[in-house]
Amino acid sequence: MSEKKNWSYQLDWLNIISILGLDSITQIPEYKKDKAIKRLSKTYGDNVLLTLKPNELDELVANELIDLMRKELTMHARKQEKMEREFKNRFGTLKKGGIIPINLNDLKDIDPDVDLEELIKYFSKKFRGEDDDTDGDDDYDPYDEDKSGYYI
């Protein structure tokens, strides 16, 4: 950055990220950061921006980035809502003191002498969808081919 943008060194990017509701600095493209800084310099002037408090600068930059990143922010919000809905659908019964669904076919494979703690770990992994493949099958195939069709 040039000497005219000295005020931009006072920015607290972690604060700006939290204002925007993002997870990391990498979600803001570098060219949009530069564009926001240039717009603010053009609008307010560098001397005025140097006199502002760092929190005020952060809010100005965050508001400018909201205008520039409207599409990315809506996509991020939709993704967050989708993750929350999936989480509620999957784990909603646990909050209410509900019942964890157990497939009776899973009970066939359990050793009767298994410890209760191991049994709870097994079903919690099943419920979360973290099935570990311990059946000993060799599913490794070095060739990624299309196995959905027939070849003549």
Please give the pLDDT value at position 147. Answer: 61
Lowest mean pLDDT segment, chosen from 11-15, 113-117, 128-132, 133-137: 133-137
Please give the pLDDT value at position 59. Answer: 93
Model confidence, pTM: 0.55
Torsion 18-20-26-27 (CA) sign = positive
Q: Which two tokens stand for residue 126?
A: 């099943």
- pLDDT tens per residue, range 35-92: 999 999 999 988 888 888 989 999 999 999 999 999 988 998 999 999 888 877 776 6
Report the C-alpha gap between 106 and 114 in whole angstroms: 14
Q: Name the more confident of 47 and 111.
A: 47
Question: Which of the residue ranges 89-103, 108-122, 123-137 has the most confident prediction, judged by mean pLDDT?
Answer: 108-122
Lowest mean pLDDT segment, chosen from 3-7, 103-107, 137-141: 137-141
Q: What b/e string do you get for 17-42 counting C-beta neighbours within 10 Å, with b at 16 or more?
A: bebbebeeeeebeeeebeebbeebbe
